[in-house]
Each structure stands twice: as structure tokens, then as C-alpha cells.
Amino acid sequence: MEYSVIFAALWVICATVVALLPMRLQFPPGIVLLICAPVLIAWLGVAHGWLIGVLAFAGFVSMFRNPIRYYWRKWSGREVGQ
């Protein structure tokens, strides 16, 4: 098995563990996971083709859909409190 798949699987396990933490403890490891994700997605895409990269990106966006939606509204000037 290639290292890109192994590290992606470890990333998923770490993300699951972070999700089980109390909310106040999720932020620091969540930022690290958020920073590592594009590197892993690019690595998977280079190693296994663009379709796998797109699927990995879709999974990433799915996991972080609420924070992405929140910041999109904040940066676009829409109401954030909804």
C-alpha cells in the first residue's frame, strides 16, 4: 500500500478522534488537520489520478461544510447568526 493512502487513513482516524473531543479542545488539533488536508489531497491526486483527488476533496469539503459555510457568509457580508 502506498504511503499517501496510509497517511490519508491516519488523517481520517485523527479527524474522528478530534471530533470526539469536547468542543473547547477541538480547535488546536482541528487547525492542524485543516492545514494538512490540502497536502494529503494533492498527494493522493498525484499518486492515484485526478478523480481520486476530486473525491478526496469532496470528502474534505463534506467534513468541514459548516465551518466553510460560516466563513463564506462572514467574508461575503451576509448574516452569520443564522
Whether this model's pTM surpasses 0.85: no
Select from 64, 6, 66 the least CA-distant residue to 34: 64
Following CA atoms 27, 18, 39, 71 in sequence, which dihedral angle do they give, to the nearest 10 degrees?
-40
Q: Is 41 exposed, middle or buried (0-12, 13-18, 19+ CB in 10 A)?
A: buried
- Stretch 64-68: mean pLDDT: 79
Task: Please report the pLDDT score of residue 71 as a whole number.
Answer: 83
What is the Cα 58 distance to its own chain's centre? 9
> What is the reported pLDDT for 36?
94
Model pLDDT, residue 63: 80
> Alpha-carbon distance 33 to 20, whole Å?
14
Look at the block and give the residue holding cell 499518486: 47
